[in-house]
Amino acid sequence: MLARTPKNELSDFDRLIAQRSGRWYQACLRITADAGLAEDAVQDALLKAWHRRDQFRADSELDTWVHRIAINAALDLMRRDRSRFRNSESPEPSAPQAPADERRRQEFGRDLGSALNQLTEVERVCFVLKHLEQWRLEEIAEQQSSTLGSVKQALFRALKKLRISMEPWRSEA
Amino acid sequence: MINDQDLILFHYGDGLDLAQRQRIAQALISDPQLADRLHRLRAQLTQLDDLAQAPEPPPAMQQRWRTALAREARLSQSDPATGRWAWLRSPRLGHAVAAAVLLSFGIGIGQWLDGRPNPQTQAGIHAPIGAPVGTPSRRSPLLRGVQLHLRDTEQLLPQLTGADNAEQRRSLLAETRAQNRMYASAAEAQNDEQLARVLRAFDSALASLARERSDPQALAADQAQLSSELAVMQTKLAGAASKSLQEL
C-alpha cells in the first residue's frame, strides 16, 4: 500500500524509481531510440502518476501504470519531434576489459541494438510494442491510428529484418 | 499452406481468429516439418528478447526524476492547481548554455506576452491575459510554471562560468533542448500556436549556441545580460499571472 503522507509518498516513488525505472526507461529507449526522449517520457509519466497517486492501491499498480504511460508519452514525444529523431542516437553499453563471455554477450547486444535501429520507425514501434511489451495488435493499431493489417505487416517486416540481421549469430550457435 | 506469418501470429497468440488457430494447431500435430519450423521460429524470436536489455538509466537521470517529483510535491502542496503544468518545471536546464538560452527564451516570451491581446480591453471576454479564446483558465498555471523556472535559473547563474567544458556544454545543450521541447508541447496542448512557434524556432537557435560558447568574457557578459533579462521577464510574468489569477 502506498502511504498517505506526502513525505512517505515521495519515498515510495523514490523506491519505485530505484527498482523499476530501468524497465520504463528501456522500453522508452527502444521505442524512441533517443535517450533524451526516453528520459522525458519517463519523467512525464512519473509526474502524471504523482497527481493520480491516490488511485493506486499498490506499488505494482503504480509500476504498471507508469510503464504504460511512459510508453505512450514516448510515442507522443517521438511523433512531435520527428525532425530531431535519429536512429543512431541510441546509446549502447560499453564493454572495456570485460571477460570473453561477457564481451560476446555485449557484442551480441550491440548487434541486436544496431539491427533494431535499421528498422523504420513504424516497424520498430510495432515490434517493440508487440514483442517486448506484449501489447495486443489491436491496441497497437489503435495507438498508432493505423489498421490491424498495417500493424501486422510492419511487425512481419521488422521480424524479417531482425532475423536476417541476427543470422550470423545463429550460425555460430 | 501455413506460412511464417501465420506461425508468427500463432506464436504470439494474437491476430488469428479461433478457426485459424485451430487449423494451425491441428496441422502442427500432423506435420512434423511444420512443428520444426515453429520450433526454429520460436528460437529466433526468443533471441530477440535480449533487446529488452537496453542500457540502464544513469544515476544522474534517476536523480533528475526524483528532483522533479520532489519539486512537484512541494509545488502541489502550496498550489494544487498547478499540477497539470508542473512537469514543465524540471530543473534540468544547463548552466553555461542556459544563459544564452534563457536570454533568447526570455525575449521570445516577452514578445509573446507583449503581442497578446489584453482581455481587459476586450469587452465580454473574460480570459486570462494572453489566453486564446476557448482555453481561458489554463494559462495561469503555465505562467506560474515559467515564472518558477526562470527563478530557478536565476539562482543557477553564479555557476554558469564553471561550465566551460565542451562535452559538458553539449550535454547541457541537449538537456536544454529537451526542456524547450516540453514548453513547446505545453503550448501546443493549450492550442497556443503562437507560443509554440516561438519555442520551436528557438530550438534552432539552441543548436547554434554550443558552437559559440568558448570565450569566458562573452560568457560573463551574457550572464550579466541574462540577469537583467530575467528580472524583466519575471516582472512581466508576475504581472500576467497575477492578472489571470484575478480573472479566474
B215 compared with A86, residue with greater pLDDT: B215
pLDDT at A68 over 80: yes
Structure confidence at residue B206 (pLDDT): 55
Q: What is the largest CA-CA distance in chain A?
A: 57
From the list A80, A109, A113, which residue is nearest B185 (CB)?
A80
A34 inside 8 A of chain B by CB = no
Closest by Cβ to B65, choosing from A46, A132, A148: A46
Test the A interface: residue of B65, B71, B188, B200 with most A CBs within 10 Å: B65
CA distance B24 to B42: 15
Is the Cβ–Cβ distance between B89 and B101 less than 8 Å?
Answer: no
Angstroms from A10 CA to nearest CA on chain B: 7
Name the nearest CA neighbour of B23 among B6, B5, B4: B6
Note whether A81 and B184 are within 8 A (CB).
no
Neighbours of B164 (CB within 10 A): 15
Residue predicted with more confidence, B100 or A100 = A100
**CB contact at 8 A, B91 and B67:** yes
Per-window interface: A 125-154 vs B, CB < 8 A: 128, 130-132, 136-137, 148, 152
More confident: B53 or A73: A73
Give the model's pLDDT for residue A167: 75
At A44-66, the pLDDT tens digits run 999 888 888 888 777 777 888 89
**Amino acid B126: pLDDT:** 33
Eight-state DSSP code of residue B210? G
Nearest Cβ partner for B65 among A42, A131, A137: A42
Option in B8, B62, B76 nearest A21 (CB): B62
Contact A12, A3 (CB under 8 A): yes
Residue the block writes with cell 519450423: B37
Residue-wise pLDDT tens digits, A12-26? 888 889 989 999 999
Q: What is the pLDDT of residue A131?
A: 92
Kindly determine whether residue A42 and residue B5, on different chains, have CB atoms separated by under 8 Å: no
A28 touches B at CB < 8 Å: no
Torsion of CA A57, A26, A84, B64, to 10 degrees: 60
Alpha helices (H) in chain B, listed in sequence order:
4-12, 18-30, 32-47, 59-78, 96-115, 139-156, 166-189, 193-209, 216-247
Residue A38 has pLDDT above 60, yes or no: yes
Query: What is the predicted pLDDT for the residue at B32?
Result: 94
pLDDT at B120: 40
pLDDT at B51: 72
Greater confidence (B92 vs A74) lies with A74
What chain A residue is nearest to B58 in terms of C-alpha separation?
A22
Which one is predicted more confidently, B120 or A39? A39
Q: What are the angstrom distances between the C-alpha of A87 and each of A80, A94, B180?
A: 16, 18, 21
Average pLDDT over residues A28-50: 89
**Distance, C-alpha B193 to centroid of its chain:** 16
Q: How confident is the model at residue A43 (pLDDT cuts 50, 70, 90)?
A: very high
The DSSP annotation for B86-148 comes to GGGG-S---SHHHHHHHHHHHHHHHHHHHHSPPGGGSTT--PPTTPPTT-TTSHHHHHHHHHH
Spell out, as residue ranges, where chain B has pLDDT lower than 70. 52, 54, 76-181, 183-184, 187, 192-248
Residue where the block lists cell 553539449: B170
Q: pLDDT tens digits for A111-169? A: 777 888 889 999 999 999 999 899 999 999 998 899 999 999 999 999 999 888 877 76
Residue B171: what pLDDT?
57
Inter-chain residue contact A152 with B15, CB threshold 8 Å: yes
Side-chain half-sphere exposure of A87, counting CA atoms within 13 A: 13
Q: Each residue of A148-164: pLDDT tens digit?
A: 999 999 999 999 998 88
pLDDT of A97 over the 50 cut = no
